[in-house]
Structure 1
Amino acid sequence: MPGNTTIAEIAGLFGKPELSHALFYAFEVGLRLRLGSDQDWHYQIDRIPRFLHSIDRARAIIRAVFAPTDPVALISQYGGPAWGNAERKGIAALKAAGFDVGVLKPAGDVIQDDHDDGTYRRWYLTPPLPAHEVDKLTWCAVSGEIDVKPQASAFKIYLVDPDRKVIAHVYDDRGMDVVALEPDTLRPLYRQFQGWLLDYDRSRMDAVFASGNVLPVTPKTTD
């Protein structure tokens, strides 16, 4: 993928103006997977076992999604008039995780229509990343809501295979979305990770992948 590729061009491959936070609710074909334990650790102090459980699941899913290809990463940050300090903190967190921030290339800004203060999302694109580099980004994505360092909570990280048209997004330690354009692309994952599918959205996933029927997207803004 050329280094001067823009977020508009990549999103256009998926028929979208940009990539939303809750990808599952923006695509007709998608999986929403639970990374957290069956135990409710979200409001407990056991952050280390919670983190390890979540990152182990995230790494297993990401490897299944992209093997044997190397995905590119799209990294975004919400910004505004004083956004620079947050960006510096995010970059510092990626560096602390051992990620080579020198590979980040600007991919464009997108004005956020639902804000009236000049807020936008600034996007960065990486070249194809080997698994050990993807692991560093996964760490930063999972740690975003937990007191585990380093954490790049200011960044949202998307892994993309432009050829197969697949996107994976770990939104925090609770879960992740994997979306595509065709059910057959994700049907093996639907079968492999049955036990990790989020029950709240299972009926929609069953309808798409078990029967082959694609349901119309229902807009939703929460996780």
Structure 2
Amino acid sequence: MKILDYMEIKFPTLELVPSLYHQWDVGIHLSLGEDIYQLKENDELNLERFRLVYEQTLTIFNELFEPSDDLFLVTNVYKHKTEEKSTRKLKVYQPSLKDKRYLTQIQVKTYPYPFDIEEAEQYEMQQFSLLCRRGDLRVNQLLKAASNEDFPLNPRFGGYSIDYPDIFFVNITKDIIFFVYDDRGCEVVALDAEQIRPLYEKYYNWVDEVDRKKIEQGLSESGS
């Protein structure tokens, strides 16, 4: 199975790009870090915040993914069409796969640049995908690297210079998609509201008040 085939069947109007929550009715946006600022008063990184974010993202992942669940690990890499012909080491699949034989099964497809910027036609998005199981991945390392996007912390993803890569965990057993956009928050969307309702109820305090009405409406309409 290819990620494109799966998405066309299960999430036909959804693009695997940031802001999943705004594209799909059944979803949750969770804020991370509990308002602990990223920097201390002396401008040093506040590692307490990042330790909390790592713990929160892993907690959410564990709520959504069972060891036996099949999933796609999808990576979006953004690049200039002509100026960047070769990439720096991606540092997503190689360090995160327990069995390196999976590296030969990674698929890639090129798409138009998905963000609304000037001269967007000069850029493109390469989307890598791998069908595997949760147990095949070093999940904690992936979640940390996603959270570290804006700060000089390791682990980090590599790639082209114009944008940090985005990764999506697409659970094809439960039809759930999980995306950590950076240390500030993450998004979860689902085909069936009942798959993510327990997450919303259990971690209600991680949801900003401004988002609750939309989330509850989506969960209610899907479950009715």
**TM-score bracket for the superposition, by shorter chain length:** 0.7 to 0.9
The 2-side partners of 1:213 and 1:174 are apart by 28
Following superposition, the deviation at residue 49 of structure 1 comes to: 1.5
Q: TM-score, normalised by structure 2?
A: 0.79
1:145-160 equivalences under 5 Å are 145-152=150-157, 154-160=164-170
Following superposition, the deviation at residue 168 of structure 1 comes to: 0.2
Q: Is residue 190 of structure 1 aligned with residue 183 of structure 2?
A: no
Residue 50 of structure 2 corresponds to 51
The 2-side partners of 1:94 and 1:47 are apart by 28
Following superposition, the deviation at residue 31 of structure 1 comes to: 0.5
Following superposition, the deviation at residue 147 of structure 1 comes to: 1.6
Aligned sequence identity (%): 23
Q: Is residue 22 of structure 1 aligned with residue 23 of structure 2?
A: no
**After the TM superposition, which of the residue ranges 40-49 and 61-70 deviates more from structure 2?**
40-49
Q: Aligned partner of 2:4: which letter? A: A
Q: 1:174 aligns with which of 157, 173, 184?
A: 184
The 1-side partners of 2:100 and 2:84 are apart by 18
Q: TM-score, normalised by structure 1?
A: 0.79
Residue 108 of structure 2 corresponds to 107
User: Does the CA-based 8 Å contact 2:108-2:126 persist in structure 1?
Assistant: no
Shift in alpha-carbon separation, 1:130–1:96, aligned structure 2, 3 A: closer
For structure 2, the residue ranges without an aligned partner over 5 or more in a row are 159-163
Residue 122 of structure 2 corresponds to 117
Following superposition, the deviation at residue 17 of structure 1 comes to: 5.8
The 2-side partners of 1:145 and 1:59 are apart by 19
Shift in alpha-carbon separation, 1:106–1:83, aligned structure 2, 3 A: farther
Residue 144 of structure 1 corresponds to 149
Count of residues in correspondence between the two structures: 206
The 2-side partners of 1:124 and 1:47 are apart by 33
The 2-side partners of 1:99 and 1:150 are apart by 16
